[in-house]
Amino acid sequence: MIIILKDGAQEKQIDELVKWLQGFDIKTNLVNGVQQRIIGLIGDTTKVDMESVQAKEIVEKVKRVQEPYKNANRRFHPDDSVIEVSGRKIGGGTLNVIAGPCSVETEEQIITTAIAVKEAGATMLRGGAFKPRTSPYAFQGLGYDGIKLLIEARKITGLPIVTEIMDLSHIDLFADVDVIQVDERNMQNFTLLKELGRSDKPILLKRGLSSTLEELLMSAEYIMAGGNQKVVFCERGIRTFEPKTRNTLDLSAVPLLKYHSHLPVVIDPSHATGIAALIEPMSLGAVAVGADALEIEVHNDPKNAWSDGAQSLTPAQFAEVMKKIKAQAEFSGRPIDEGK
């Protein structure tokens, strides 16, 4: 961090500022230039709040030269992180495919879909029990009964289960879930993120539809600062001016997140496009640019799905798409994760 001081800054004020900065356990270097006086900060400046520095009377400008996140930063952790999920590994050279319905609806629906996606080669099962819906009148999910059905589907198929948490008060209901998903609307629910930081579960952190990658990295930092290092990013489309797709899939997020962070990256082509026919090309593109996993909505009867039917594949369509994903995964040098 570099602090440029105002012209009239008094020695006493500078001393006070330096003392305050040293309280953060960092070294300071005052440079008296011809035109300007500058303080350079040396050490871990992640805990120094830029706005608090800017608010000081003698500060003209403040600039960060280092990112404000440490745990998620590749600079401090050069090797790719590999997140273990009940026998599978997200990151580290294989591809995982998380497939299943948007919402868990009935026992028959989740079991039929789970068996079908497993047969087609999916490596994990997804399904929402607590659903973040835009309308309060839309189906809100089965709640804990949905989690119980996912557990039953896991018993039958052996697939680890991924499901989203919406409220802090539900955390105990997720004790037997393999991966806790944070939906895009909750990406900046900092109270929830802090609590997940105290958990030992892998967290699938979805990017908010209007969030920058820096904000996503900072949300991961919230979880990791609490001790939980098992965070996986998920790009699921951002809001742009284009109405033909539900969102716009930002594929550049994959190499960019990997450049800045060691954490694995998942692409969700279903929520990104909202169109079942786009899942195949976007999945292949995602694997080609380095995604560690895909999250795809599959429903045994999409036309009658209680949520997101238009973006869900039938089991037969998914089986076809999986053949191409497998081929692309081999070609990209990250074959499908076969588990233990």
By CB under 6 A, name the binding residues for ligand PEP.
Answer: 102, 128, 132, 183-184, 206, 236, 268, 271
Give the rounded distance of the alpha carbon of 175 from its chain centre: 20
Tokens 């900046």 correspond to 188
**Are the beta carbons of 102 and 283 closer than 8 angstroms?**
no
| Region of 1-9, 96-104, 177-185, 238-246 interacting with Mn ion (CB under 5 A) | 96-104
Q: How far is the CB of 295 from Mn ion (least distance, A)?
A: 10
Instruction: Rank residues 59 and 165 by Cβ distance to Mn ion and give the closer one.
Output: 165
Instruction: Pick the binder of Mn ion from 72, 99, 102, 294 (CB under 5 A).
Output: 102
Instruction: Rank residues 268 and 337 by Cβ distance to ligand PEP and give the closer one.
Output: 268
Q: How far is the CB of 273 from Mn ion (least distance, A)?
A: 12
What's the rounded Cα separation, in Å, for the pair 264 and 243?
A: 29
Instruction: Rank residues 102 and 263 by Cβ distance to ligand PEP and give the closer one.
Output: 102
H helices, E strands: number in the chain = 10, 14
Q: How far is the CB of 234 from ligand PEP (least distance, A)?
A: 7
> Which of 328, 215, 284, 306 lies closest to 296 in space, CA to CA?
284
Q: Is 162 in the site for Mn ion (CB under 5 A)?
A: no
Is residue 288 classed as helix, strand or coil in its secondary structure? helix
Q: What backbone torsions phi and psi does residue 72 show, to the nearest 5 degrees?
A: -85, -5
Q: Which amino acid is located at 121 in the chain?
A: G
Q: Which residues pair with 103 in a beta bridge?
A: 128
Taking CB atoms, the residue at the shortest distance from ligand PEP is: 183
**From the list ligand PEP, Mn ion, none, which binds 206 (C-beta under 5 to 8 Å, kind-based)?**
ligand PEP
Taking CB atoms, the residue at the shortest distance from Mn ion is: 102
Q: Is 308 in the site for Mn ion (CB under 5 A)?
A: yes
Q: Which amino acid is located at 5 in the chain?
A: L
Instruction: Rank residues 1 and 313 by Cβ distance to ligand PEP and give the closer one.
Output: 313
Q: How far is the CB of 264 from Mn ion (least distance, A)?
A: 21
Q: How far is the CB of 272 from ligand PEP (least distance, A)?
A: 8
Instruction: Rank residues 105 and 308 by Cβ distance to Mn ion and give the closer one.
Output: 308
Instruction: Rank residues 260 and 299 by Cβ distance to Mn ion and give the closer one.
Output: 299
Tokens standing for residue 296: 């795809």
Residue 314's contacts (CB-CB under 8 Å, 6 or more residues apart) are 298, 299, 300, 301, 302
Instruction: Rank residues 309 and 339 by Cβ distance to Mn ion and give the closer one.
Output: 309
Is residue 49 classed as helix, strand or coil in its secondary structure? coil
Sign of CA dihedral 114, 118, 122, 125: positive
Q: How far is the CB of 16 from ligand PEP (least distance, A)?
A: 46
Instruction: Rank residues 102 and 116 by Cβ distance to Mn ion and give the closer one.
Output: 102
**From the list ligand PEP, Mn ion, none, which binds 132 (C-beta under 5 to 8 Å, kind-based)?**
ligand PEP
Q: How far is the CB of 262 from Mn ion (least distance, A)?
A: 28
Sign of CA dihedral 164, 202, 249, 217: positive
Residue 267's contacts (CB-CB under 8 Å, 6 or more residues apart) are 234, 235, 236, 249, 251, 254, 282, 283, 286, 291, 293, 294, 295
H-type helices in the chain, by residue range?
Answer: 11-22, 50-54, 107-120, 144-157, 190-197, 213-225, 253-260, 269-273, 279-288, 315-331
Q: How far is the CB of 113 from Mn ion (least distance, A)?
A: 13
| Region of 78-86, 166-174, 179-187, 301-309 interacting with Mn ion (CB under 5 A) | 301-309
Instruction: Rank residues 89 and 126 by Cβ distance to Mn ion and give the closer one.
Output: 126
**Are the beta carbons of 292 and 263 closer than 8 angstroms?**
no
**From the list ligand PEP, Mn ion, none, which binds 100 (C-beta under 5 to 8 Å, kind-based)?**
none
Q: How far is the CB of 276 from ligand PEP (least distance, A)?
A: 15
**Interaction site with Mn ion (CB under 5 A):** 102, 308
